[in-house]
A and B are shown apart, each in its own frame.
Chain A
Amino acid sequence: MIHSKRIRSTTSRYISRLLLAGFMLSATVASAVIHASTPADPFGSVMWKTMVDTYFTGGDVVFDQRVIVSAPKSAENQMHVPITVDATGLENVKQIVAVADLNPIQHILTVRPEQALSFIGFRLKLQQSSPIHVGVQTEDGTWHMGGALIDAAGGGCTAPAAAHSVSNWMKTLGETRALVRRDSKGDARMTIRMRHPMDTGLASGIPVFYMNKMVVKDDAGGVVAELDLFEPVSENPTITLKPSVGNESSVLKVSTRDTEGNEFAFPLSVPAVLAQ
């Protein structure tokens, strides 16, 4: 028993040394690339370089006014800080990645709008005042960046979810409210609100447990949008998307999954555009 432990620890030391060497090598290469093409951060984030190295790789990084990030200047409730990203001015969008630079877990979500406008509304838990960066990657690999600075009192990620104040919160897990509307231009917009504690694992005594996947498909089974959600997304995730589904009425199919493998699926009717 003692013997095998020693072997394991020697092996793991060896592996970690290998990993470290590999990491240092890749860090050197990556930083060379970054110095060539990373613009200064208008939000003055001390984490900017790390954010680019970690989340916005594989293409040039440019700040672009077509990435409109709406956020309050100050977090009224750091458990629910609303963000709306509108990048509908950009063509050929591959994915949208949102990060909170100074959160203990930075990656908020990634959305791939396959048959949807480049638009998303969501809410996040903010641990302290922080820059938010949103990268919109187009097919050519370029990251078009936008962002916001949000002032906050602190405590969003390490505070327990409100759900834990009631003992039977598992009963309502996955309970869903949703609506689909047409706006004045006829564009469809869907808002989904699902009960889930979205536990970060950072609140004392509460293990990590969050909804990590959401897929929206159209009538024919084609993917409308795919979302990877992470720990910072607020309790009871409330997501707004703009599916591109034409003017007729149709039925979207939404499926979600959490980190415990619970799966939830539901249909969502899209009304037709009213004839003028």
Chain B
Amino acid sequence: MKIESQQRRTLLKMLGAGCACCVCGSANARLLKYPLHATEIGSKTWAVHGESSHFNLENGGNIVNVGFVEVPDGVVVIDTGPSKRYGQALLALIEKTVPGKPILRVYNTHHHPDHCFGNQVFDPTLIAAPQGVIDNINEEGNAFADNMYRLVGDWMRGTAPVAPTVVLDAATEEVGGRQFSLFYLSGHTSADFVVRDDTTGILFSGDLAFLYRAPTTPHADIATWQAAIDSLGALDRDLILPGHGPSDSRGESLAQTSDYLAWLEDTLAGAVDSGLTMNEAMQLPIPDGFASLNVVREEFERSVVHLYPDLEDQLMPLIDVTR
């Protein structure tokens, strides 16, 4: 009886392994284990860097930067990653890096799924964001989840969007004996939230800043985004952890994001004015300065779809119509 059941278990395991191999390609995907690594970017401050690619079945949506800070009485977490499974891996990494410290606060920088779909594993009474971020998660979270399951598959198992319960509107917040400055901006989305650790001067910019990775624009308002970058540029800071890409001590992420957005807007406005179709605009050359950004061609093509209709409504002349 015992042997039989053991054999059956072995057989099931083999079948299971074989099945997973067929479906997924890489070693990580087979085990569905996020290879998270904490990089110390400042005093008692760690970044968990994601890949510089798109959501896919291999990376499980791990394309994002998450941060955490050890404060005197516990830990503050900035963004939670793309899935419940990522959230669990992040929790384990924090426990390994800062053993025995309670999590006191979790911030969400904005509502895009790679930044807040790990919320599920944290105590909801600790998750905080401005009202705009909360509204956006409530409004679009389910549609994002549908698309994420489609794009990264089984990595998402059990993931559901969870909105923050703590509404932020103050200029600063003290958490566990450390002061954080809070900035309420928009442009990448209708609500972008930026946190600065006032002790270390590290700025968690969310997706208002990208570095060596093309910015994404599905909810962007370029002019507002540029103004937000200007205001971040004027802040006292020692280091920026951008939403995507390496940490940045020289403000390069702000300059690069701003330059790219200016080029993007000019290029698409020119394309609309020349009467190019969206497909023709997608084939326009990308200048050398941006050609080395990760996934730039893909993001440029996506941006054409995001931005073209509004530019057409702004730039194409209105014609008198007889009815």
Cβ-based interface call for B274 (8 A): yes
Q: With A76-B305, A80-B305, A177-B312 known to touch, is A265 a contact of B277 (CB < 8 Å)?
A: no
For window 68-126 of chain A, which residues contact chain B by CB distance below 8 Å? 70-72, 76-77, 80, 82-84, 121, 123
Give the residues in chain A near B301, CB-CB below 8 Å. 72, 76
**9 pairs of A and B residues whose beta carbons are closest in the complex:** A121-B277, A82-B278, A70-B279, A177-B316, A84-B279, A76-B305, A181-B275, A84-B277, A176-B319
Nearest-Cβ distance from residue B14 to partner chain A, whole angstroms: 33
Instruction: Report Cα–Cα, A84/B305, bound state, in Å.
Output: 14
Tell me whether B317 and A178 are in contact (CB under 8 A). Answer: yes
Give the residues in chain B near A140, CB-CB below 8 Å. none
Q: Which positions in B face A, CB cutoff 8 Å?
A: 146-147, 150, 218, 273-275, 277-280, 282-283, 301-302, 304-306, 309, 312-313, 316-323
Tell me whether A177 and B313 are in contact (CB under 8 A). Answer: yes
Cβ-based interface call for A169 (8 A): no
Tell me whether B279 and A71 are in contact (CB under 8 A). Answer: yes
Give the residues in chain B near A197, CB-CB below 8 Å. none
Nearest-Cβ distance from residue B55 to partner chain A, whole angstroms: 11
Instruction: Report Cα–Cα, A62/B76, bound state, in Å.
Output: 63
Cβ-based interface call for A227 (8 A): no
Q: With A77-B305, A177-B317 known to touch, is A121 a contact of B322 (CB < 8 Å)?
A: no
Q: Mark A132-159, 1 if CB is under 8 A from B, else 0.
A: 0000000000000000000001000000
Give the residues in chain A near B319, CB-CB below 8 Å. 176-178, 266, 268
* Residue of A with least CB distance to B278: A82
Give the residues in chain B near A83, CB-CB below 8 Å. 279
Give the residues in chain A near B313, CB-CB below 8 Å. 177, 193
Give the residues in chain B near A262, CB-CB below 8 Å. 323
Give the residues in chain A near B279, CB-CB below 8 Å. 70-72, 82-84, 121
* Residue of B with least CB distance to A122: B277
Instruction: Report Cα–Cα, A9/B321, bound state, in Å.
Output: 47
Tell me whether B275 and A191 are in contact (CB under 8 A). Answer: yes
Cβ-based interface call for A217 (8 A): no
Instruction: Report Cα–Cα, A176/B323, bound state, in Å.
Output: 12
Q: Select which of A72, A76, A84, A189 is within 8 A of B306 by beta carbon.
A: A76
Give the residues in chain A near B316, CB-CB below 8 Å. 177-179, 191, 193
Give the residues in chain B near A84, CB-CB below 8 Å. 277-280
Give the residues in chain A near B147, CB-CB below 8 Å. 153
- Excluding A175-B321, A264-B322, 9 further A-B contacts by CB distance (< 8 Å) are A70-B277, A72-B282, A84-B279, A121-B279, A121-B280, A177-B312, A181-B274, A193-B313, A238-B312
* Residue of A with least CB distance to B218: A76
Instruction: Report Cα–Cα, A80/B306, bound state, in Å.
Output: 10
Tell me whether B321 and A264 are in contact (CB under 8 A). Answer: yes
* Residue of A with least CB distance to B316: A177
Nearest-Cβ distance from residue A63 to partner chain B, whole angstroms: 20
A-B contact pairs, 27 of them (CB 8 A): A70-B277, A70-B283, A72-B305, A76-B218, A80-B305, A82-B277, A82-B304, A82-B305, A83-B279, A121-B277, A121-B278, A153-B146, A153-B150, A175-B318, A177-B316, A177-B318, A178-B317, A178-B319, A179-B273, A179-B275, A180-B275, A181-B274, A183-B274, A189-B275, A191-B277, A193-B316, A264-B323
